[in-house]
């Protein structure tokens, strides 16, 4: 792997070299993909196939939505793509490189390029930290020299329509749900990722704040050229934001296509049922 990678230092011990991500690999617009990805869990002696032979492609500078009801395997798929959970079988490819078993330095590089935002943004953070200290901790992860940190924070807050002045001195509970979620997007952007994975990131927001965050994600694609994987149980949100939609049912992808194809000529009964719950999707397509 990475035979042509020249930026990786040789292991002085002469042992096997850690794999590194090969940057600037040309040829093809597909940034991230998975092939036949499967995850089985054993629960109380029986086997659950949470993700069942899923193959998806994420073209550069696009939004792909994965939509399906609760329990359809979306988060398990996300965890595997993020390399937070091993796959039972199948492969994950990033920039043409098999990253399924990447480890060490290569995996750490992967984790800077593929960032995630989840549903409950501050659940895992100490509520006594200000937003400023939360973002600076993010900055130390990004290995940016300290004197560049404030500029980077301001830049990334700018991408989500926030300013340091109105944000940094506040505690999480002093922000609205939409502001908190935008802070988490800003924090992810500080790593300068290529891919942003949002797993139900807008699910807990009320309608107005949700549209606001969806529009921020839309602008990130256009302005930063990002690739966004948007995971939701809500086909309305999926169709509002995404260029392409994949529909998951019981671990399998049962429908995939451009957003227009999925809205105007759904093939799977499951997709038709999801669509029937959303009254006026045709008018909500984002241009
Ligand atoms: N760690 C786990 N151990 C056992 N079963 C799990 C685990 N994580 C998820 N599952 C099961 O896998 C299926 C898919 O779950 P999940 O990926 O969370 O779906 P979704 O995100 O679409 O709601 C569910 O049946 C869930 O109970
Ligand atoms: Mg989930």
State pLDDT tens for residues 78-117.
999 999 999 999 999 999 999 999 999 999 999 999 999 9
CA of 118 to the centre of ligand 1 (A): 15
Give the H/E segment covering residue 237: helix 235-241
Residue 187 CB less than 6 A away from ligand 1: no
Q: Token pair of 84, please?
A: 């937070």
Residue 73 CB less than 6 A away from ligand 1: yes
The domain locations on the chain are 30-122+193-284
Residue 42 CB less than 6 A away from ligand 1: no
Separation CA 238–CA 199 (nearest Å): 12
Percent of residues, the chain, with pLDDT higher than 70: 82
Residue 265 CB less than 6 A away from ligand 1: no
Residue 146 CB less than 6 A away from ligand 1: no
Which CATH code is given to the segment(s) 30-122+193-284?
A: 3.40.50.300
CA of 204 to the centre of ligand 2 (A): 13
**C-beta neighbour count of 24 within 10 angstroms:** 6
Residue 48 CB less than 6 A away from ligand 1: yes
Confidence of residue 12 (pLDDT cuts 50, 70, 90): very low
The crossing angle, in degrees rounded to 10, of helices 146-159 and 207-224 is 120
Q: Which residues surround ligand 2, an ion (CB under 5 A)?
A: 74-75
198-232 residue pLDDT tens: 999 998 888 888 898 899 999 999 999 999 999 99
User: What are the DSSP calls for 85-126, one per residue?
Assistant: S--SEEEEEETTEE-TT--HHHHHHHHHHEEEE-SSTTTTS-
The residue among 283 and 82 whose pLDDT is bigger is 82
Residue 232 CB less than 6 A away from ligand 1: no
Which protein residue has the closest C-alpha to ligand 1 atom 9? 76
Confidence of residue 127 (pLDDT cuts 50, 70, 90): confident
The 8 Å CB, 24+ separation contacts for 210-213 are 210/178, 210/237, 211/240, 212/161, 212/178, 212/182, 213/178, 213/181, 213/182, 213/185
pLDDT at residue 6 above 50?
A: no
CA of 229 to the centre of ligand 2 (A): 13
pLDDT at residue 142 above 80?
A: no
Taken in order 277, 219, 208, 114, the sign of the CA dihedral is: positive
User: Which of 76, 197, 203, 252 should be mutated for ligand 1, with most atoms under 8 A from CB?
Assistant: 76
Which protein residue has the closest C-alpha to ligand 1 atom 11? 50
Measured in degrees and rounded to the nearest 5, phi and psi for residue 85 equal: -145, 130
What mean pLDDT is predicted for residues 238-265?
A: 96
């Amino acid at each position: 792997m990475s035979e042509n990678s020249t930026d990786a230092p040789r292991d002085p011990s002469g042992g096997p070299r850690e794999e590194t991500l090969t940057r600037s690999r040309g040829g093809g617009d597909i940034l991230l993909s998975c092939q036949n990805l499967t995850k089985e869990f054993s629960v109380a002696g029986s086997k659950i196939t949470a993700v069942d032979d899923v193959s998806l492609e994420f073209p550069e500078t696009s939004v792909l939505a994965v939509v399906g009801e609760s329990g359809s395997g979306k988060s398990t798929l996300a965890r595997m793509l993020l390399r937070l959970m091993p796959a039972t079988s199948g492969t994950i490819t990033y920039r043409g490189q098999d990253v399924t078993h990447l480890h060490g330095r290569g995996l750490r590089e992967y984790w800077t390029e593929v960032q995630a935002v989840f549903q409950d943004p501050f659940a895992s953070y100490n509520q006594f930290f200000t937003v400023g200290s939360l973002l600076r901790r993010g900055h130390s992860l990004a290995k940016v020299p300290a004197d560049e940190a404030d500029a980077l924070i301001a830049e990334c807050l700018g991408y989500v329509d926030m300013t340091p002045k109105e944000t940094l001195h506040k505690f999480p509970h002093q922000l609205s749900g939409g502001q908190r979620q935008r802070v988490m997007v800003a924090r992810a952007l500080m790593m300068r990722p290529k891919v942003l994975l949002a797993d139900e990131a807008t699910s807990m927001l009320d309608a107005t704040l949700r549209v606001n965050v969806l529009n921020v994600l839309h602008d990130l694609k256009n302005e930063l050229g990002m690739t966004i994987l948007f995971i939701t149980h809500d086909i309305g949100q999926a169709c509002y934001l995404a260029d392409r939609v994949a529909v998951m049912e019981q671990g399998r992808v049962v429908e995939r296509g451009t957003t227009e194809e999925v809205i105007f000529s759904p093939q799977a009964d499951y997709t038709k049922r999801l669509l029937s719950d959303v009254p006026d999707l045709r008018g909500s397509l984002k241009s």
